[in-house]
Chain A
Amino acid sequence: MLVENKKIPVQVPPSRRALPVLTRGALIEPSETLQKTPAARYHLIEGATPLVFLLEGSRLFAVEPELFAELKTGAVAVEEVFPELLAPLAASIADFDSLAEPTAISLNVAQSCNLSCGYCYADEGRFGGKAGAMTSETAFAAIDNLLAGAGDRPVTVGFMGGEPFVNRKVLHASVAYARRRAAAQNTKIRFSVTTNGTLLQPADIELLRANGFSVTVSLDGAEQTNNRLRRSKDGSSSFARTIENLKPLLRKPGAAKLAARATVTRADLRVRERVASLAAVGFADIGVSPLRQSPDASLALTDSDWSSFLNEMIRAAEDEILRLQRGEKLRFSNFAEALRQIHRGASRNLPCGSASNYVSVAADGNYFSCHRTIDNEFFAFGNTADGLSAAARRRFLSARQVDRQEPCSSCWARYLCGGGCHAEVAAVGRGGCDYIRGWLEFCLRSYDRLASANLLPFDF
């Protein structure tokens, strides 16, 4: 039933052009998207139970072996199984515009030490400069600054050195002062100290107990191992003195928590033995740090040492797995902490809290990013009199985010590792990254293994 229609003059182009694709809902070629996805957003971990680790949110998945084989060969794209990888990487670069005041400081009350350990980053506490002691005025001013910026957050005051008990008087006075001031403004406060334990007196032990100190004792392992590098100036056994002084605290810690920290040098890479020896004298929390930077360069680990060190770490951790199987508690804190971070899916773009929620105060009252960078002007953030410089902290943090670091941005472990200790990176660069990846991979596998056996000491 068509009707003849009158046409009005309409310009119809004589030649018909190629028809474009409809603009509604642009289609994206999936293959193209997959190719563009950066490689370092997931990590495939082989094993009896193959695992896939997604960097964002540090999510760990077990995958059936046959599917894993397809993922490994590329027969199935990882993005197909985990389509969240198709979404752009969530911004991991922060601007630190609203940088909160720190909630933790360490006071280097004594930049001197009664020991002369060959590897000490602080060079017997002097940090390459002159030995010094903090005055109580400086300590109080730093505590005042900390409490002023605390708001309703709990704060931590730590004591470092050198050996903090060299300046016993200021240490005791600072605890009393901080406790009184915190109580006055209703702020919760905690204390920590890192000590070689050789100078502890009964009054000190009482202080640690009563104030619930976290006490970190620097001990390298069994007596012989320890004394090789942790030398007393008078030649006596520093190990014996430490243990003798600590005995009452180890026996009756009160509210205090004790931990041992061992420094591993290339002179002796063993870890398991150190853990066992320190456990034998009564420590329930034992951690190790490989020496990367030292006044005596021959002690620091070199590239050829990392794989041996990794084996040592794994050997120590396997002991811990056996302990869990026997129903005993974890004591190797490197392993325990890694498992805890994996469990929570910790994902961070910085290696530690330094400069953000933690700063360190030198004996003369200057602020530094942490206790390892004391008196290094590149890490200086002002002083207790003028206050902490937020701008300096912001600059520091902004530049050091792991996604801005190389070769970190292409590393699958970057959000677990955070890019490595600022002080060490500045001094000696990044080394031993294969060790870190190997260690984290071992911990991820162990986590899965322990979870399957229902042996993880965490709640789900």
Chain B
Amino acid sequence: MSDSNKSNFEEKSLRAQKIFPRNLTARAAYQVAGNPVVARLESGVGNCYPGLEYDHRNLDRRFFPGLVFDFVSQDDASAPSQKRRGLRLTAVELNDPDLQGDQSLRDSLGSQSAALGAGSWFVNEIEQDGKKILTYETAGNNIEYLDGMVIYQIVRGLNRGKVRIVLSNRDGDGASVELTGERRGFLNEDGVIKSVFQPGELTQSLCSPWQHDFRDCGCNYWASNHPDIVLTEDEVGEALLPTGGSADPHRAQTLVDWLRADRNREAAAEAFPTREENRLFQMDHYEINRRWEQLAVVLEGKEISSIYRPGEIHRAAPLASPQEVADRLRYLASLEHVLILEYLYAYFSIAPPDRVDANRFPDIDDAVIFARHQLLMIAVSEMRHLRWANQILWELEHAKLISAESGPALEVAETVPAAGGGHRKAELRVLTMDTLQDFIDVEAPSGTLDGQYASVAATLREPLYPPSAYQLAERIIADGVEHFSRFRELKLVLKNYLSENESPYLLALTPADPQTNETAAAALAAYSSIIENLAEAYEKGDMEDAKYIITSRQKMEELETLARKLAADGFGIPFFNFEQSE
């Protein structure tokens, strides 16, 4: 690679290698290449979680020659009994090499080994240099046994030299055995780990990330590397949304526990909200050791067992030319525009909370607050889409990919895509269930809007186009899916208040006549002014803080006030009337 080909970055990093900080302030301000401080040994998580590195307790399990212990902790699931906490004897090894020099200990262990082999033996007393520590506390008649971790600290603190221990059988009659031996060191004379420590013993408590620790480890280090909740796998031939999600709204939203023990598809139930509740239904320790291969690979939040297929949106065919993209965007913008008007008209048709009868219809006041909010959010989001569509157009123009003749896209579409692939007349209607269904249909992810944006996005992804244009198209698609689910939620809520011939959440609006209604005329003028100002703003491509945007925002507030006034009188803003114009 010649010098001139070197990227700016490479040149910079090469230069960084040619300067050397000398004094303290220069060193402090200088970014040193290499591992950061958190990568150093002393910063290791193993300092708190020895399972990730090395656990010293594995050495002290053999602190007493001829015996092997376990430090049993109170939160050990396998030993919930208080009585089983402490320093528990697990084996007597008469062939322990460190017994060879201690004939008397070997003799007493030999004579007691049969007794120690039966029941549950725990160390009750530890004594060294005249200091005795009991491994239990008494309060009246109650005996409280010390936790294994506390006893570990005591054992850890033992010096080299003689140690006397008293073992007692907590299962049987409380028989006890007293032994005295040398506290075991870890290394032999050559400084090598003693042969009494068996291969594998020192590493036995290290994490096993594909087994127990993958389901839950104390520091969540491994457990955080798998998903908690996932969507289940698509069935063969299942209808999918263009985004790749399931078309079945229930399946699209039902998250199941990734670690669930019951892998039966039909039995896959929604995960509980907390880890504790899910715990009972998950693969347990040991189970996960055997079955971990059944855990699914997860892509885009969904379990995958066969070949991954990207969603339709990611497979959409690109359009042929920038002009075709522009034409498509222009059409889509006109659709966004007409939907804004339909949604706003419907929005003002939902009764404000003080105009509904909460005595007859429980909680209807909350329902209308929710409905108004949802619908307004969707309308605002569509306004943003209209702006983004115009921004993409502007960027295409600016990149000289299309000619700059047609100006901002602020037309209003006359028809709207409907269910089944057809079109319906655009219409200003109150929010009846039919209207709502039409809204759901147009926003359905399988519908026209998203599908067409998908081809736009697929085209804008090509290197010819400015990168920001592609990102805007992707965001419009993602928002569309959200509109769909918001409308469906809206339907669920409002459905409760419907009866045969009554829609108690609705105001009966009819489009006002601007010839006779001054408020309506003012509202139309405000709307017109908004569009003119937006046209100016989109024309200049200056969409962040230009005066035109500010003016149109002011006009929007004016429009809202007027619309509320009209709605109170039973009228809606006559944004358009395509019936008349035909």
Contacts and interface: CB of A to CB of B under 8 A. Distances in A.
B535 A12 contact: yes
Contacts of B30: 61
A3 B19 contact: no
A67 B397 CA distance: 44
B414 A5 contact: yes
B14 to A, nearest CB: 9
A24 B472 CA distance: 14
A163 B65 CA distance: 80
A12 B413 CA distance: 18
Nearest to B405: A16
Contacts of A184: none
Given A5-B334, A6-B411, A12-B535, A17 B576 contact: no
A58 B23 contact: yes
Contacts of B408: 10, 12
Contact of A20 (B21, B535, B540): B540
Interface in A53-88: 54, 57-64, 66-67, 76, 80-82, 84
A63 B19 contact: yes
A460 B413 CA distance: 73
A269 interface: no
A331 interface: no
Contacts, number: 126
A10 B532 contact: yes
Contacts of A57: 25-26, 29
Interface residues of B, number: 46
Nearest to A341: B23
B578 interface: yes
Interface stretch (B160-168, B504-512, B541-549): B541-549
Contact of A11 (B22, B28, B535): B535
A5 B411 contact: yes
B410 interface: yes
Contacts of A24: 544
A3 B540 CA distance: 27
Given A8-B412, A12-B535, A460-B24, A84 B19 contact: no
A212 to B, nearest CB: 28
A23 B542 CA distance: 7
Contacts of B541: 19-20, 22
Contacts of A8: 410-412, 531, 576
Contact of A63 (B18, B540, B545, B576): B18
A61 B20 contact: yes
Contact of A23 (B28, B414, B544): B544
A12 B539 contact: yes
A12 B535 CA distance: 7
B413 A62 contact: no
A403 interface: no
Contact of A7 (B12, B25, B411): B411
Given A20-B540, A20-B541, A4 B414 contact: yes
A66 B539 CA distance: 52
B528 interface: yes
B532 A5 contact: no
Given A12-B535, A13-B539, A16-B404, A3 B23 contact: no
A3 B18 contact: no
B56 interface: no
Contacts of A16: 404, 407, 539
A455 to B, nearest CB: 14
Contact of B22 (A1, A64, A344, A451): A451
Interface in B388-438: 397-398, 404, 407-408, 410-415, 423
B581 A6 contact: yes
Interface string B197-234: 00000000000000000000000000000000000000
The 3 closest A-B pairs by CB, nearest first: A345-B25, A59-B26, A64-B18
Given A10-B408, A23-B544, A345-B25, 4 more contacts: A20-B541, A64-B18, A345-B28, A451-B22
27 contacts: A2-B327, A6-B412, A6-B414, A6-B578, A7-B412, A10-B408, A10-B410, A12-B535, A13-B539, A17-B540, A22-B398, A22-B541, A23-B545, A24-B544, A52-B19, A59-B26, A60-B26, A61-B30, A63-B20, A64-B19, A80-B15, A81-B19, A82-B19, A344-B23, A345-B23, A447-B23, A451-B22
Interface of A: 1-13, 16-17, 19-20, 22-24, 51-52, 54, 57-64, 66-67, 76, 80-82, 84, 342-345, 347, 447-448, 451, 460
